[in-house]
Chain A
């Protein structure tokens, strides 16, 4: 069967996506303890799993209660400095006073990442560290079945009342005698969520029929998400919280009788980062205050504290003894012995801890890895064929030689499967799949293996034949090729270091800068040296230089280029007219470099330098609202001018109206202001405006799709098709403009500007082939992923994009919108690549196929290597904070790339039909 390289690449990528999914499922196992082992009884709350052997509690009777009533006030995203810092002093006077007076114990609690509400509630109630998979299921929380505080309280006959985030109600569906849940997913609601909780407070505090009251306030978290921790809205919210704490505390004190004191617990489930989001492990997100306020603390002091004091004293004595000069043999030996014991204990502890915390489903991971690596190998082996002129190759579907191998492999794998699954003591996802699916996966693996073997055999066969075309062996590598290869390999290798993952944006910025300089050198050579350097390319002297010196050469030529541009006026007039385009084209890489530098300082991302001030923060701070409005307006105008060139009239108008709608949406939710609007207009959710824009997005995309279909059905000229593609592209640009935060709109502008300039002045004149252009697009796409403020941490995902124009949380659109907003950079560059390549079809009929193949290859190389690296580093210290978020990002990127490649293939298909019809 003959396959075109586009079809081949997309099917490979789909298989790879399957492998990635399997690997992820194995890597992030659903915590085994959460699997319900017993059916929940209908009338009472589900009982947690019984503790395993060896964990039987040695309490023989229930200890006497220490407190009569307990109120837990959980303030979402309460950072430690909101209570203990300057903000606390300013806005929470009552709490500060209580803390300083000393009827309380105050701590700074450390929240283990992922700092997301649902896992944090689980952690607070069960005392266990959350599994990483909990982030993913955060939005859809099943009932908690582990041993937990609430369940224990319930079985001890305590009456529990809960008001607040309805995550609790989902986790503990039958535990509360009374509850009122508020949905937490509408992020732009600051007051109503809290009023829903507070309105019950007065009546409840008067009543006597409860023992445990839990209040979960969400407003602060919403303020953080929308406006950040330094927003003026935070102060009043903290004051409101302070008043509530005061009310609760006073009422508790007044109820207190001689018998037992009451307890008020104030805590945050997680903090917030400097941008106001959470999920990662930065200082601000991890540290939350934890306050225990009770009159009981005045009377007695904690025995643990006394023990610590005693221990400290004895340690001091030992040191004193040592300092007095008692350095005899005994002391020395004792010290050595203690050190040794300490070290051994530490070693055993850490190893057992890491084994306990990280339980991997190795079998599923191995199967996933095997599939991913096989696909990568297959892609790599088919590079020469896929990038040939015809972009087609023979896929051996039923070669008789390999049928035996195929069946043997299937049998062997099935045997392995049976052995592993019967002997495995832990839960395994791949084993729990149905037999049919498992056998299907086995057959897939064997088929891929046979494909690889046959490809290798074919290559060996070709080697044995005399070389027919000496042109291939003769062609030397240009600097661009060397850079592309070195950059790809270097980036993949850098994924093994946690710092390079944290600062991956630096890698991409560095690479695209170098790429621009090399392009500049290429342009200079094209413009200045065409006459001089055409003959005698082949002496051995220069070839080595090319491989090592791409950067240096171009830098050195830049010097004359820059000085020549000043002398440009002096050149003769006839040359000048011809040359005006030339100078613009020479200046293009420099303009792109400057754009990239500006974008780099727009959003500081990563970890090490993330705290540096950047333009983004400057613009979003509330004093600079008018500057932000101006910038947003100019950006939207620029977007219109850059996009409208190739659109039809109808979509031009739609685009203009849509961009207006974007601005009025941002004005409605209070990010930007209209020039005529001075007073503080009330902030709405902007649903009408956002839906207005959605209508135009859909309209433009629909027009584009109609054109594409027309070009397929009626064998129209290629202009219809390219207009259609461009319209789809511009619809996506409009959607991105709606979803991007207003300070990120310049990213979109520069994206369009760079694409336009590159197309006009670099790619077309320099006549790169499709593969090179694809890889450049991929690089720029990656760089723009980071330019828009993303990083490899979970915290930078802008979830507010998922709520634009939605009244309440609707799962599928929210996921789609968030994914689009996050991956807008790579996605827009990929679609632009398709636009560009399909306009290049006249020059190279296989361009789209080549592009699709290269794009798939560029994605599958890092994923395959990274999967292997992560498997090797699974007991690394940073596995959960650095490597696994990156793994999630890579996985999602593979799915998106697979979708893009399918789109590519569809476009390619159309083209071939046209050819057939002609």
Chain B
């Protein structure tokens, strides 16, 4: 059971990583002059949309948190709307944090916002898929050993890795190398993406190696 689930997790994560890679490569065939550095805003949009759709599809197919209750349609709609609102709020919050970190307030506001959307896709969207708009559950998962399944552990690892990647991505900005990838927010978004991918790959491996120690308590 455990092994099979880890394998499923690995497959899902590899799919996500693959989608990130494809989002960087495939549009070049359709769009003229597309490149990750040159048309960074397009890439940000494409990458966010790809990862978001894949995450939602995976969630619908795999159903990691099997909810026993059948729910009404109206309830589902309200849940969906709540999710949308939460996602939007997290985008705003990330935007605010990025500005507080020193991003320009008015100029390049699109870049900053799209970077916030990318970060939200890597972190909040996954939480929404897995946990739903349930703040108590979020707090539980992100507090000290609150994870209750390998999916939640994976969620912890990937979101931390992507945020940490974004954090480290800011380091090269003050250097005077005049490289195209030092322009705001390219280094940060690349850092976040690499962090996310690293998290996707690390999570199943780490769970696999620590599977003896991991004991998830039931609810």
Q: Which residues of A contact B (CB under 8 A)?
A: 497-500, 502-503, 506, 509-510, 513-514, 517, 525, 528-529, 532-533, 536-537, 539-542, 545-546, 548-549, 551-553, 555-560, 562-564, 593-594, 596-597, 600-601, 606, 608
B143 near A608: Cβ-Cβ < 8 Å? no
| B 132-166 to A, binary, CB cutoff 8 A, 1 in contact else 0 | 00010011101111110000010011011111100
In the complex, A616 Cα to B215 Cα: how many Å?
Answer: 57
User: Are the C-beta atoms of A563 and B89 separated by less than 8 Å?
Assistant: yes
CB distance from A70 to the nearest CB of B (A): 43
Q: Determine the chain A residues whose CB is within 8 A of the CB of B124 once the complex forms.
A: 559
Q: Say whether A552 contacts B174, CB under 8 Å.
A: no
- Does the CB pair B176–A540 fall under 8 Å? no
Q: Which residues of B contact A559 (CB under 8 A)?
A: 86, 89-90, 93, 124, 138
Indicate if the CB atoms of B142 and A557 lie closer than 8 Å: yes
Check if B102 sits within 8 Å of A506, measured CB to CB.
Answer: yes
Chain A: minimal CB distance from B100 (Å):
5
Contact of A549 among B86, B105, B160 (CB under 8 A): B160
**Given A506-B173, A549-B163, A563-B89: 8 more A-B contacts, CB < 8 Å:** A513-B100, A533-B143, A542-B145, A549-B156, A552-B160, A555-B163, A559-B90, A563-B86
Is the pair A513, B101 in contact by a Cβ cutoff of 8 Å? yes
Kindly state whether residue B6 has any CB partner on chain A within 8 Å.
Answer: no
| CB-nearest residue of chain A to B215 | A539
Q: Measured between C-beta atoms, what is the minimum distance from B96 to chain A in Å?
A: 9
Query: B147: which A residues are within 8 A, CB to CB?
Result: 541
CB distance from A557 to the nearest CB of B (A): 6
B123 contacts chain A at the CB level, 8 A cutoff = yes
Inter-subunit contact A556/B138 (CB<8 Å): yes
B173 surroundings in chain A (CB, below 8 A): 506
Interface centre among A510, A594, A606 (most CB of B within 10 A): A510
Pair A529/B101 contact, Cβ less than 8 Å: no
Q: How far is the CB of A500 from chain B (nearest CB, A)?
A: 6
B114-131 CB contact bits vs A (8 Å, 1 = yes)?
Answer: 000000000110010000
- Known A529-B139, A541-B210; contact A553-B100, beta-carbon cutoff 8 A: no
Known: A528-B139, A559-B138, A564-B135. A539 touches B176 (CB 8 A): no
Q: Is chain A's binding surface mostly helix, strand, loop or mixed?
A: helix
User: Could you tell me if B174 and A608 are in contact, using CB atoms closer than 8 angstroms?
Assistant: yes
Check B170–A529 contact: CB distance below 8 A. Answer: no
Is B213 positioned at the interface, with any CB of A under 8 Å from its CB?
Answer: yes
Interface contact B100-A563, CB-CB below 8 Å:
no
Q: Contact check, A560 vs B156: say whether CB atoms are below 8 A apart.
A: no
Q: Distance (Å) between the CB of B97 and the closest chain A CB?
A: 7
A22 and B54 CA atoms in complex are apart in Å by 64
- Name the distance in Å between A476's Cβ and chain B's nearest Cβ: 10
Least CB distance from B135 to A in Å reads 4
* Structural contact, B213 and A540, CB atoms closer than 8 A: yes
- Which chain A residues border B102 with CB–CB below 8 Å? 506, 509-510, 513, 597, 600
Write out the residue numbers on chain A whose beta carbons fall within 8 Å of the beta carbon of B90. 559
Q: Would you call B167 an interface residue if the criterion is a C-beta within 8 Å of the partner chain's C-beta atoms?
A: yes
Find out whether the CB atom of B89 lies under 8 angstroms from the CB atom of A541: no
Q: Are A563 and B135 touching (Cβ within 8 A)? A: yes
Partner of A533, one of B97, B144, B162, B215: B144
Chain B residue at smallest Cβ distance from A500: B174
Contact A552 B100, CB 8 Å, known A500-B174, A537-B144, A560-B138: no
Tell whether, in the assembled complex, residue B175 and residue A497 are in contact, meaning their CB atoms are under 8 Å apart. yes
Q: With a 10 A CB-CB cut-off, give which of A537, A553, A606 has the most chain B CB atoms.
A: A553
Complex contacts, B100 vs chain A, CB 8 Å: 513, 593-594, 596-597
Closest chain B CB from A498 CB (angstroms): 8
Chain B residue numbers with a CB within 8 Å of A596 are 100
**Which residues does chain B contribute within 8 Å of A546, judged by CB atoms?**
144
Residue of A nearest to B123 (CB): A556
A499 B159 Cβ-Cβ under 8 A: no
Measured between alpha carbons, how far is A541 from B175 in the docked complex, in Å?
A: 37
Chain A positions within 8 Å of B139 at CB level? 528-529, 532, 557, 560
Give Cα A562–Cα B94 distance, bound, in whole angstroms. 12
Residues of the A chain whose Cβ atoms lie less than 8 Å from the Cβ of B140: 532
What separation, in Å, do the CA atoms of A528 and B161 have in the docked complex? Answer: 24
List 15 A–B pairs whose Cβ atoms lie within 8 Å, in order of A's numbering.
A499-B175, A502-B176, A513-B100, A513-B101, A532-B143, A537-B144, A539-B215, A545-B157, A552-B160, A552-B162, A555-B163, A559-B124, A560-B135, A563-B86, A564-B135
Q: Does the CB pair A552–B159 fall under 8 Å?
A: yes
Task: Convert B194-215 into 0s and 1s, putting 1 for each residue whose CB lies closer than 8 angstroms to a CB of A.
Answer: 0000000000000000100111
Q: Which residues of B contact A525 (CB under 8 A)?
A: 143
Q: In angstroms, how far is the closest chain A Cβ from the Cβ of B103?
A: 10
B213 touches A541 (CB 8 A): yes
Chain A residues whose CB sits within 8 angstroms of the CB of B164 once the complex forms? 548-549, 551-552
Q: Please tell me if B99 contacts chain A, counting CB pairs below 8 Å.
A: yes
**Chain A residues near B176 (CB-CB < 8 A):** 498-499, 502, 608
Contacts of A529 in B (CB 8 A): 139, 143
Give chain A nearest CB distance to B132 CB in angstroms.
13
A544, chain B: closest CB distance, angstroms: 8
Question: How far, in whole Å, are A542 and B157 apart by their CA atoms in the complex?
Answer: 11
A532 cross-chain contacts in B, Cβ below 8 A = 139-140, 143, 146
Taking a contact as CB atoms under 8 Å apart, the answer to whether B99 and A597 are in contact is yes
Complex Cα gap A537–B176 (Å): 44
> In the assembled complex, which residues on chain B have CB atoms less than 8 Å from the CB atom of A528?
139
Task: Point out which of B105, B127, B142, B162 has the most chain A C-beta atoms below 10 A from its C-beta.
Answer: B142
Contact of A551 among B89, B143, B144, B167 (CB under 8 A): B167
Once bound together, how far apart are the Cα atoms of A529 and B139, in whole Å? 8
> Does A562 contact B93, Cβ atoms closer than 8 Å?
yes
Structural contact, A553 and B142, CB atoms closer than 8 A = yes
How far apart sit A438 and B58, CA to CA, in the bound complex (Å)? 75
Chain B nearest CB from A507 CB (Å) reads 8
Q: Are A541 and B142 in contact (CB under 8 A)?
A: no
Chain A neighbourhood of B94, CB < 8 A: 555
Closest to A497 in B: B175
How long is the Cα–Cα vector from A151 to B101 in the complex, in angstroms? 57
Complex contacts, A608 vs chain B, CB 8 Å? 174, 176
Q: Determine the distance from Cα of A597 to Cα of B144 in the docked complex, in whole angstroms.
A: 31
* Residues 162-201 of B at the A interface (beta carbon under 8 Å): 162-164, 167, 170, 173-176
B174 near A506 with CB under 8 A, answer yes
For A548, what are the chain B residues with a Cβ–Cβ distance below 8 Å? 160-161, 164
In the assembled complex, the CB of B200 is this many whole angstroms from the nearest CB of chain A, namely: 15
Give the 9 A-B CB pairs with smallest separation, nearest first.
A552-B163, A503-B174, A549-B160, A552-B160, A560-B135, A542-B145, A593-B100, A499-B175, A499-B176
Verify A553–B160 contact, CB threshold 8 A: yes
Q: What's the nearest-Cβ distance from chain B to residue A897, in Å?
A: 26
How far apart sit A512 and B24, CA to CA, in the bound complex (Å)?
Answer: 34
Complex Cα spacing A642 to B30, Å = 61
> Bound state CA distance, A565 and B195, in angstroms?
30
CA distance A502 to B90 in the complex (A): 34
- Assess whether A536 is in contact with B160, with CB atoms less than 8 Å apart: no
Complex Cα distance, B103 from A510, in Å, reads 11
CA distance A546 to B164 in the complex (A): 12
CB distance from A245 to the nearest CB of B (A): 39
Query: What is the CA–CA distance of A553 and B174 in the complex, to the nearest angstrom?
Result: 26
Q: Which residue of A lies closest to B137 (CB)?
A: A560
Question: Is there contact, CB below 8 Å, between A556 and B213?
Answer: no
Report how far A556 CA is from B124 CA in the complex, Å.
Answer: 8
Q: In whole angstroms, what is the CA distance A514 to B166 when docked?
A: 13
CB-CB < 8 A to A597: which residues of B? 99-100, 102
Minimum Cβ distance to chain B for residue A605 (Å): 12
In the complex, the chain B residue whose C-beta lies closest to that of A541 is B145
Q: Which of A536, A556, A601 contacts B159 (CB 8 A)?
A: A556
Residues of B with C-beta under 8 A to A558: 93, 97
Of the candidates A513, A532, A541, A542, the one having the most CB atoms from chain B within 10 angstroms of its own CB is A541
A542 to B156, CA, bound (A): 10
Q: Which residue of B lies closest to A596 (CB)?
A: B100
CA distance A564 to B124 in the complex (A): 16
Q: Which residue of B lies closest to A514 (CB)?
A: B167
Residues of B within 8 A of A537 (CB): 144
Cβ A510 vs Cβ B170 within 8 A: yes
